[in-house]
């Protein structure tokens, strides 16, 4: 409900135009925002039809209820919108996820943890104003204002933490975002003034005061209040005593966090996918099992690890990756989880039960990585853990969905690719994630490598040809320094042509990658260890997708 109204029942998303009767949607929204998702009928009537008599309101409610139930589920609508005594209840006994609640919980966790990452995680969940299309419905106003204030206070809190930790640039970034949203916010303006002073940019600090003065004058015909005025006076008089702190960059490793995850340190840069990261984090806040799916090499594991890294402080008991690629048998899955979590097998108990006992009290994120070859075993364990351990969440990566109740799957998209036609400029290419990844990895082979007007077209062609699949791009870029980009492109083209019997039709992604691998395999006279470690992940991985 933040940013816009959207509702899914199971895997089915209800289309906007299904809500022909506006009040039917309003009824669902009202209940979703109510405590316990329950409201007395009288209160529903009073809220939605404040100007109607009791009889008319009651009639309206009956019709609206009928319509809403049909939209939620034509056959079993009253399961999702139930009458209990005199109350209406949304999804009794079912899992109902409301983004507003996820945001509020994350905000509370942030205030408790006093840690930038936790603040960031909460801010990420605020997708926008509450129910913007219902701005004129009185019953939404107070909650909308409250949530917006929560968001702003989180952002100010985050900026303050950055300031305290000497991370002034990040502090500036956060405050500028707040001011873009709320230009007359005095706290944010004062935060900026302090940060500029700390950075030795007094002129800019004073310019911020001036800006505040103008905005208040234009918007409200008022003047800044005492606090910002005093701050300005102190800056002008050179009396402001702020002691700059040495920047903590990279952020000082907090020993408490180190024991809360087993994430490998990233070995190379992560490119793009900002929006996707945000989307997945939001989806994960709204479910307990999220599976990142897609063909091999599309970046499922990498994306999961990057997301997990951002969420370490969100879970009291941390984030743990269970790497399943090397496991050959499904029976070993519980054991792999137990080993990672240092849960010891008990002689008289099934390992799964021991795991349940250990995980039941925990708030923890399990990243089950590379599940595809053990889907059934992973699904079984995931289902059991989710049923018995209420605060366990699972982020899985798999070529196929696990097919567990409550699972949300998210297809990892390709990196953005340039057009294959035309002659893109260097500047244009820098906007595409795939070409950026190519350049980053090529530089690891040849530090002098750069996009130039001479090679731009070929690089674009390579990235286009491999569909923006990250692993294929990395493999192609790994040849830089050994052969020219033209040669890379030609040989790649040849291998991919073989796969389509010489035709130039588009190749399914799985085969594109296969072609790239075959090609790079043939080319590697002295196979690099790193690449081979990657290739080993694909052993037995060439089965056709089940779909
Ligand atoms: N956005 C990205 N930025 C940088 N490298 C990436 C990105 N996505 C994937 N990679 C790299 O591409 C390779 C394949 O990704 P991986 O996550 O292992 O794919 P999958 O799990 O889908 O098989 C890895 O070396 C990974 O680090
Ligand atoms: Mg993987």
pLDDT in tens, 513-539: 666 666 665 554 444 444 444 433 443
How close is the Cα of 268 to the center of ligand 1, in Å?
10
pLDDT above 90: residue 336: yes
Ligand in nearest proximity to the CA of 438:
1
Who has greater pLDDT, 169 or 250?
A: 169
Q: pLDDT band at 510, cuts 50/70/90?
A: low
Q: Is the CB of 314 under 6 A from ligand 1?
A: no
> Contacts from 445-448 at CB under 8 Å and sequence distance 24+?
445/477, 445/478, 445/479, 445/480, 445/481, 445/482, 446/480, 446/481
How close is the Cα of 279 to the center of ligand 1, in Å?
18
How close is the Cα of 53 to the center of ligand 1, in Å?
62
Q: What is the DSSP letter of 136?
A: T
How close is the Cα of 464 to the center of ligand 2, in Å?
22
Q: Is the CB of 439 under 6 A from ligand 1?
A: no
User: Ligand 1, residues 265, 299, 529, 532: which to mutate, most atoms within 8 A of Cβ?
Assistant: 299
Taking residues 21-41, report their average pLDDT. Answer: 95
**For ligand 1, what atom is nearest to the CA of residue 473?**
12
User: Ligand 1, residues 396, 470, 531: which to mutate, most atoms within 8 A of Cβ?
Assistant: 470
Taking residues 85-95, report their average pLDDT. Answer: 90
DSSP letters of 477-519?
A: HTTBTTB-HHHHHHHHHHHHHHHTTT--S---HHHHHHHHHHH
Give per-residue pLDDT as tens, 186-245: 999 999 999 999 999 999 999 999 999 999 999 999 999 999 999 999 999 988 877 777
User: Ligand 1, residues 297, 302, 324: which to mutate, most atoms within 8 A of Cβ?
Assistant: 302
Burial 492-509 (b: 16+ CB within 10 A, else e): bbebbeebeeeeeeebeb
How close is the Cα of 368 to the center of ligand 2, in Å?
10
Q: Which residue, judged by its Cα, is nearest atom 23 of ligand 1?
A: 297
How close is the Cα of 399 to the center of ligand 2, in Å?
8
Taking residues 107-131, report their average pLDDT. Answer: 93
Quote the mean pLDDT of the chain. 88
Helix intervals (H) in 259-395: 274-285, 300-311, 333-341, 351-359, 375-388
**For ligand 1, what atom is nearest to the CA of residue 397?**
21
Collapse the DSSP code of 421 into the 3-class scheme (helix H, G, I; strand E, B; otherwise coil) and give the result: coil
- Nearest alpha-carbon partner for 534 in 474, 482, 493, 462: 474
Taking residues 316-344, report their average pLDDT. Answer: 95
Q: Is the CB of 334 under 6 A from ligand 1?
A: no
Q: In this structure, are strands 87-90 and 38-40 parallel, antiparallel, or unpaired?
A: antiparallel
**For ligand 1, what atom is nearest to the CA of residue 271?**
3
Q: Which residue, judged by its Cα, is nearest atom 16 of ligand 1?
A: 299
**For ligand 1, what atom is nearest to the CA of residue 470?**
12
Percentage of the chain exceeding pLDDT 70: 88
Q: Is the CB of 296 under 6 A from ligand 1?
A: yes
**For ligand 1, what atom is nearest to the CA of residue 302?**
17
Is the Cβ–Cβ distance between 375 and 402 less than 8 Å? Answer: yes
**For ligand 1, what atom is nearest to the CA of residue 267?**
27
How close is the Cα of 426 to the center of ligand 1, in Å?
24
Question: What is the maximum span of the chain, computed from C-alpha positions, in angstroms?
Answer: 85
Q: Is the CB of 187 under 6 A from ligand 1?
A: no
pLDDT above 60: residue 123: yes
How close is the Cα of 541 to the center of ligand 2, in Å?
11
How close is the Cα of 324 to the center of ligand 2, in Å?
9
- Pick the range with the lowest mean pLDDT from 282-296, 464-478, 526-540: 526-540
How close is the Cα of 535 to the center of ligand 2, in Å?
11
Instruction: Please tell me the distance from the alpha carbon of residue 374 to that of residue 461, in angstroms, as a whole number.
Output: 36
Taking residues 293-300, report their average pLDDT. Answer: 91
pLDDT above 50: residue 124: yes
Q: pLDDT band at 492, cuts 50/70/90?
A: confident
Instruction: Please tell me the distance from the alpha carbon of residue 8 to that of residue 181, in angstroms, as a whole number.
Output: 29
How close is the Cα of 298 to the center of ligand 1, in Å?
6
Q: Which residue, judged by its Cα, is nearest atom 27 of ligand 1?
A: 302
Instruction: Please tell me the distance from the alpha carbon of residue 50 to that of residue 79, in angstroms, as a whole number.
Output: 27
* Predicted local distance difference test score (pLDDT) of residue 64: 96
Ligand in nearest proximity to the CA of 293:
1
* Predicted local distance difference test score (pLDDT) of residue 534: 43
Q: pLDDT band at 299, cuts 50/70/90?
A: very high
- Pick the range with the lowest mean pLDDT from 11-15, 317-321, 330-334: 11-15
Q: Is the CB of 157 under 6 A from ligand 1?
A: no
**Whole-prediction pTM value?**
0.83
How close is the Cα of 25 to the center of ligand 2, in Å?
40
Measure CA 373 to chain center.
Answer: 26
Q: Is the CB of 19 under 6 A from ligand 1?
A: no
How close is the Cα of 297 to the center of ligand 2, in Å?
7
Q: Is the CB of 397 under 6 A from ligand 1?
A: yes
* Predicted local distance difference test score (pLDDT) of residue 499: 55
Q: Is the CB of 160 under 6 A from ligand 1?
A: no
- Pick the range with the lowest mean pLDDT from 87-91, 446-450, 524-528: 524-528
- Nearest alpha-carbon partner for 497 in 488, 505, 489: 505
Task: Work out the burial of residue 486: count CB atoms within 10 Å of its CB; fewer than 13 is exposed, 13-18 middle, 19 or more buried.
Answer: middle
Q: Is the CB of 77 under 6 A from ligand 1?
A: no
Q: pLDDT band at 248, cuts 50/70/90?
A: low
Give per-residue pLDDT as tens, 358-392: 999 999 999 999 999 999 999 999 999 999 999 99
């Amino acid at each position: 409900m933040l940013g816009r109204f959207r509702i899914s029942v199971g895997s089915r998303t209800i289309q906007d135009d299904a809500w022909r009767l506006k009040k039917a949607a309003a009824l669902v929204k009202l209940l979703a925002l109510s405590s316990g998702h329950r409201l007395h009928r009288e209160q529903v009537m009073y809220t939605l039809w404040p100007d109607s008599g009791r009889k008319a309101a009651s009639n309206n409610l009956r019709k609206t209820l009928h319509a809403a139930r049909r939209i939620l589920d034509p056959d079993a609508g009253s399961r999702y919108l139930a009458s209990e005594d005199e109350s209406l209840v949304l999804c009794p006994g079912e899992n109902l996820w409301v983004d507003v609640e996820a945001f509020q919980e994350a905000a509370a966790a942030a205030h408790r943890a006093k840690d930038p990452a936790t603040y960031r995680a909460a801010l990420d969940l605020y997708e926008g104003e509450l129910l913007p299309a219902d701005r004129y419905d009185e019953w939404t106003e107070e909650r909308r204002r409250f949530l917006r204030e929560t968001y702003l206070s989180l952002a100010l809190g985050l900026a303050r933490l950055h300031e305290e930790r000497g991370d002034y640039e990040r502090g500036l970034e956060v405050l500028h975002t707040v001011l873009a949203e709320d230009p007359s916010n005095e706290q944010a303006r004062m935060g900026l003034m302090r940060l500029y002073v700390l950075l030795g940019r007094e002129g800019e600090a004073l310019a911020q005061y001036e800006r505040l003065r103008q905005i208040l004058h234009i918007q409200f015909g008022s003047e800044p209040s005492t606090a910002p005025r005093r701050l300005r006076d102190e800056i002008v008089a050179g009396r402001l005593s702020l002691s700059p702190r040495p920047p903590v960059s990279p952020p000082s490793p907090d020993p408490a966090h180190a024991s809360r995850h087993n994430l490998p340190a990233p070995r190379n840069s992560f490119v793009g996918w900002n929006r996707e990261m945000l989307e997945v984090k939001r989806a994960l806040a709204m479910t307990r099992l999220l599976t990142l799916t897609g063909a091999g090499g599309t970046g499922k594991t990498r994306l999961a690890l990057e997301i997990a890294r951002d969420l370490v402080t969100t879970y009291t008991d941390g984030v743990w990756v269970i790497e399943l690629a090397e496991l050959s048998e499904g029976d070993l899955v519980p054991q792999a989880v137990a080993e990672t979590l240092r849960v010891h097998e008990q002689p008289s108990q099934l390992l799964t039960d021991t795991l349940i006992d250990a995980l039941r009290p925990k708030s923890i994120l399990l990243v089950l990585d590379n599940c595809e070859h053990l889907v059934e075993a992973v699904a079984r364990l995931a289902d059991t853990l989710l049923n018995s351990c209420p605060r366990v969440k699972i982020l899985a990566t798999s070529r196929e969905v696990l097919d567990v109740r409550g699972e949300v799957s998210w297809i990892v998209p390709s990196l953005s690719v340039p057009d294959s036609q035309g002659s893109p400029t260097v500047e244009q290419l820098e906007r595409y994630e795939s070409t950026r990844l190519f350049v980053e990895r090529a530089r690891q082979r040849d530090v002098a490598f750069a996009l130039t007007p001479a090679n731009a077209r070929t690089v674009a062609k390579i990235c286009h040809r491999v569909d923006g699949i990250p692993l294929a791009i990395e493999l192609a870029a790994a040849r830089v320094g050994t052969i020219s980009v033209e040669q890379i492109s030609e040989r790649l083209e040849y291998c991919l042509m073989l796969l389509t019997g010489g035709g130039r039709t588009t190749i399914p992604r799985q085969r594109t990658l296969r072609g790239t691998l075959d090609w790079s395999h043939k080319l590697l006279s002295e196979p690099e260890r790193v690449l081979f470690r990657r290739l080993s992940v694909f052993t037995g991985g060439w089965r056709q997708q089940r779909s």
